[in-house]
Amino acid sequence: MTRFLIRRLLTIVPTLWAIATLTFFMLRWAPGGPFLAERDIPEGVRAQLEHTYGLDRPLGEQYLTFLGRAVRFDFGPSYKYPARQVREIIAGALPVSLELGALALLVALLIGVPIGVVAAVRHNRAEDHAAMGLALAGVSIPNFVLGPLLVLVFSLGLFVLPPALWRGPESRILPVLTLSTAYVAYIARLTRAGMLEVLRQDFVRTARAKGLPEHQVVMRHAMRLGILPVVSYLGPAAARILMGSVVVESVFQIPGLGRYLVNAAFNRDYTLVMGGVLFYAAFLLILNLMVDVAYTWLDPRVELA
């Protein structure tokens, strides 16, 4: 395990370097610039701004400077918010995005896993068809449609929940439901598939033959292997939830990291885009490592390579 962790951690460094390099040159080679969208800005002022941010230096020198600062997680000030450092923006917006993503993932697990287990146990019966029908509907409705629909019903129709912002526990309900619905469907289908495979194996038949109650067979014997597909999915799902929160944060006006990243892309805010991309990349790599370790803990037959 120790060798595996060291090896995986060492591979994270070149992976982040490759992502940082590609993102850096793609931003620089794309048409336009961070100050070209400003209206009626004098050429002298624009030249002074480019000199202040080092954009008038050779591209190779800019790249080396960027790498040296990125190692210290210091990307400099944002072009759009010059009074704030990029790491300050990320540190301020990250807790909001993490809270939204963690709540959505928790709701998806608490609802999706039981639905998948019930669908597997009641295979090809009414409960199975109803659960998979709801799962298909959850996958089919995009966030930008579901969010306004929930606002229309619960905020503008029933007046029971706030329509936007991030203030108080009640303001979390609609964004979390909007973000978690699709993942409830994915997790339910993965749980059902995993449980169906495990319930047909010999050790489950043996447990039933010994006279164990069905709930013990399912919960104590089948669940541990049946949720392995869900465990494998959690790493990419957590990263997708964090990235997918961009739409939800825009719909509900939530001050999370996703909104900053989208605005930075539109404004060609090089430093904020680079900081956001590298953070998301590191987050995804670490999550995948955690999932691999958890997978091995759940199924000792799996060997870490």
More confident residue, 203 or 111: 111
pLDDT 10s digits, 229-266: 887 787 778 777 876 677 888 888 888 887 788 788 88
The CB density around residue 158, as the number of other CB atoms within 10 Å, is: 9
Residue 126 lies in a domain: yes
Which pairs count as long-range contacts for 207-214, CB under 8 Å and 24+ apart, including other chains? 214/121
Residue 279 lies in a domain: no
Residue 292 lies in a domain: no
Across the range 178-182, mean pLDDT stands at: 89
pLDDT 10s digits, 90-134: 888 888 888 898 899 999 999 999 999 888 888 888 888 898 888
Instruction: Measure the CA–CA gap between 246 and 106, rounded to whole angstroms.
Output: 18
pLDDT at 303 over 70: no
pLDDT at 305 over 70: no
Which has the closest alpha carbon to 286: 11, 66, 50?
Answer: 11
Across the range 273-301, mean pLDDT stands at: 76
pLDDT at 210 over 90: no
Which has the closest alpha carbon to 104: 224, 187, 190?
Answer: 187
Give the model's pLDDT for residue 149: 92
Give the model's pLDDT for residue 238: 77
Burial of residue 168, with CB atoms counted within 10 A of its CB: 0-12 exposed, 13-18 middle, 19 or more buried: exposed
Structure confidence at residue 77 as a pLDDT band (50, 70, 90) = confident
Residue 246 lies in a domain: yes
The CATH number assigned to the domain holding 103 equals 1.10.3720.10
CA angle 148, 153, 155 (to 5 degrees): 80
pLDDT 10s digits, 256-267: 887 788 788 888
Which has the closest alpha carbon to 113: 236, 241, 233?
Answer: 233
Residue that the structure tokens 């390579």 belong to: 305
Instruction: Measure the CA–CA gap between 200 and 81, rounded to whole angstroms.
Output: 58
Q: What is the mean pLDDT of the chain?
A: 82
Give the model's pLDDT for residue 10: 81
Count up the domains in the chain and report the number. 1
Backbone angles phi, psi at 131, to 5 degrees: -65, -45
Q: Which secondary-structure segment (H or E) carries 304? A: none
Q: How far, in whole angstroms, is CA 142 from its chain's centroid?
A: 16
Write out the two tokens for 116: 């998948």
Instruction: Measure the CA–CA gap between 247 and 250, rounded to whole angstroms.
Output: 5
Across the range 287-300, mean pLDDT stands at: 69
Residue 260 lies in a domain: yes
Residue 278 lies in a domain: no
**Residue 239 CB contacts under 8 Å (≥ 6 apart), including other chains:** 280, 283, 284, 287
Residue that the structure tokens 């608490």 belong to: 110
Residue 281 lies in a domain: no
| SS3 assignment, position 270 | helix
Residue 116 lies in a domain: yes
Host domain of residue 112: 92-267
pLDDT 10s digits, 147-173: 899 999 998 888 898 888 788 888 899
